[in-house]
A and B are shown apart, each in its own frame.
Chain A
Amino acid sequence: MASYVMEFSVRGPLAYLSHLELMKVFRQSFRRSTLPISFSEGFNPHMKLSFAIAKGVGLESEGELLEIETDQEIDVGDFLEKINKVIPDGLKVKTLKEKTISTKSLSSMLRKAKYLLVYGDGVNRDEYRVIIADKLDKSEILMEVKTKKSIGIKDIKEYILDWNFTDTGVIIEVYAGSDKNLRIDNLLKYLELDLKTIRLKLIGDDAPIIDKMSKEE
């Protein structure tokens, strides 16, 4: 028995799959790959897979995390080759790390997420830069947020940890996880600009979670 965490990307149309659909794709892909993924015990055995966090429908990502358990130790290169051969186009497993810190679940390690907001085609970038800087620099950013029962007002300013412009857009780091969480689509609603979002990394206290999987590292 061994535990691993894999980092994968979701691009293009497959970004529109729901959390459960994505889970199903991996279940079926692992079966096709014949990799030795462990099953739970009981009447209705299922593969032991868990995501760090659900990905919003429509969101592309370069850094989703999935934890898997296997019956025996696996070779990383072999794993990547086998799984990438049998997953649908649009998904790609980028890395696999053995998880030697067994106490913490991925979701409990999650603190922050990094996003890239890419300018839409034909957008005036200079203008956009000014508008975005202006909007993000405000001392408070009030948003209507829908909860199950009602609509509340929330200041999301403190959820935005850092942001930097690049050539093609802006990289933003925000709180993510069970403690404090900013849904990136809420921020986009606030910005009201032609931007496409890509999640880049899921991050723990001080570093990307994927880099903190093994004690030795």
Chain B
Amino acid sequence: MDIRKIVFDGLLTEVEKPGRYIGGEWNSTKKTFEDTACQIAFCFPDVYEVGMSHLGLQILYGLVNETTPYLMERSFMPWPDMYKKMQERGIPLYSLESFKSLSDFPIVGFTLQYEMSYTNILAMLGLANVPLTSNERMNGAHPLVIAGGPCSVNPEPISSFIDLFLIGDGEQALPEILKITTNYLVKGKIENRKELLLKLSELNGVYIPAFYKEEYDSEGKYLGTFNIHDRNIKVKKTFVADLDNAYFPTKLVIPFVDAIHDRMMLEVLRGCTHGCRFCQAGNYYRPVREKSVSKLLETADKLVVGSGYDDISLTSLSTADYTGVKELVSKLLAKYEKGKISISLPSLRVDTFSVELAKEIQKVRKTGFTFAPEAGTQRMRDIINKGVSEEDLMASVEGAFQAGWQRLKLYFMIGLPEETDEDVIGIIELGKKVLDLGRKISGGKNIIVTVSVASFVPKPFTAFQWFGQNTKDELIRKQYLLKEAVREIGKGLKLSYHYSALSVLEGMFARGDRRLGNVLQSLYNKGAMFDSWDDWFKLEMWNEALEENAISKEAYSEHFFAETEPMYWDHIDIGVKKLYLWNEYQKSKSLEITRDCRLGCTACGVCNDEIRMDIKGEYHG
């Protein structure tokens, strides 16, 4: 089937934003199947604009295509209008470079960024006629379906559909996987799949679900998931030890269609040392590894020349933490002001240092300012170990208002452990204080403070992994409390919150086990897709799928694990020790703070002889 011909002969005039499906972007690879030994399709289980905003894609794409003899192409989840048309006309999901079906690739790789994208993964495999489960793929020349990214720390809910998970920094192991797979290809198809999997299982960071079995006792209680060859083998996360000298893409693929983040992304560091107890990324990406200012300047230069973008975003989990941030920002500004290139900082801490930084880069344009105090009361912030005091927040906010910002956004969470109604109302009270301060400083100008409140979802490998999520009704009740409190304040304070039914399902998957695979299969049969999009998420479909498989979502989301109870992700080792997390959980109950580990190691267990915190300058914590 000549996919290219069918797509360009009419199909594209019938769908929204056809630019999503045409490929050919600047810097997209010119390598072909014919001149490479092994090929992988990087699949992002969301729409093009979201996927093309993902730095991880650009890193791996550049890494494979520029530095290895292999080929990486891209594929995204087609928007429902296109999906339907492709399904009707029997057009398989194809890659944007060579317009080949995913089923023609030896390897198909997904990134797991959020749990609610799992239904899209199945929908993508299905559209490409790749058998959905690893079992079905075991016989026959099917692609090896692999996955990585933050959600892979608890791979079990989606493990029936994935042959291999890559836990940790993908740069490390992916080229190895391609290399090994090459040896098992006959005419571009995998032969001797079992052998290949065995061989791949020797790599660091590789988890192959087929080699692990979950065990239950006679009463059906979960005992653990064990390696079938040697019970005690745990999968260890891989790291890039020297981030400064690691590959970083400078020839970004530039999307035609506006991406959500459509700019140069300059990763200044990886990891985070603050130790917020709810945060999975903070643990997953430990230890902190910084890049040097000189390397970053060099990279920025190449990015500017090669991309055509006019905005450099300094990305990381917390860019103000970067020890070279001041030097970097002032040098970038000096260098690129004339070329009308702006600098942006997507993630700021709640402190005056960050406000000063933001002031420096946004001399003229005053768009919104965002802070994340996460909780409304000091007690609650101590519980979650968010080292931010009300004074910090007020001082930062004051700085922002004084500098002329008029719109502020504050991020909070509800449903945290030990939360009382006072803590919930405290969010609005804090928002009100910020609003009042803004009005005072600006002399009553049109100040708008948006309070954005997420519902907390306990995640594996955090101090709160043992904690049972609030019930849906409880979340809704708390949202109502917020709403009432905001109403009393009136104009100037805006509130937004999440759809609770979605939060509960996210909670189910986050701390779920292998049995949830059946739910995903049922959802696929019903045609579920784009469940992270409110417009496409269909609650009834989910309830039916759960019912068909006799699964209670609450049994997962609301479950409190006991101290000694095995967890579904215990066979994965991300470095941070379980005991450390447990102690953090206990400390939270007694409002005990744990310091930022840049100020002194707190012994989380990640660092060792091979990998350690790597900071390039003096810390201004």
Contacts and interface: CB of A to CB of B under 8 A. Distances in A.
Interface string A1-35: 00000000000111011100100110111111000
Nearest to A25: B256
A44 B365 contact: yes
A18 B12 contact: no
Nearest to B310: A31
A28 B13 contact: no
Given A24-B256, A28-B254, A45-B340, A16 B365 contact: no
Contacts of A14: 22, 24, 256
A215 B26 CA distance: 37
B418 to A, nearest CB: 46
B501 to A, nearest CB: 35
Nearest to A18: B19
A89 B308 contact: no
Interface in B1-40: 8, 12-13, 17-19, 22-26
Given A16-B12, A24-B256, A88 B309 contact: no
A45 B311 CA distance: 13
Interface residues of A, number: 26
Contacts of A13: 8, 22-24
A39 interface: yes
Contacts of A57: 13, 18
A27 B24 contact: no
B271 interface: no
Interface centre among B8, B254, B257, B308 (most CB of A within 10 A): B308
Contact of B19 (A16, A29, A31, A89): A16
B258 interface: yes
Contacts of A21: 19, 256-258
A45 B310 CA distance: 11
Contacts of B334: none
A27 B18 contact: no
A58 interface: yes
B344 interface: no
A16 B22 contact: yes
A25 B307 CA distance: 11
Given A43-B364, A58-B12, A86-B308, 13 more contacts: A13-B8, A13-B22, A13-B23, A14-B22, A17-B256, A18-B17, A18-B19, A28-B308, A31-B307, A31-B309, A39-B340, A43-B365, A88-B25
13 contacts: A12-B8, A14-B22, A14-B256, A16-B22, A18-B17, A21-B256, A27-B308, A29-B26, A31-B309, A32-B26, A32-B305, A58-B18, A87-B26
Interface of A: 12-14, 16-18, 21, 24-25, 27-32, 39, 43-45, 57-58, 86-90
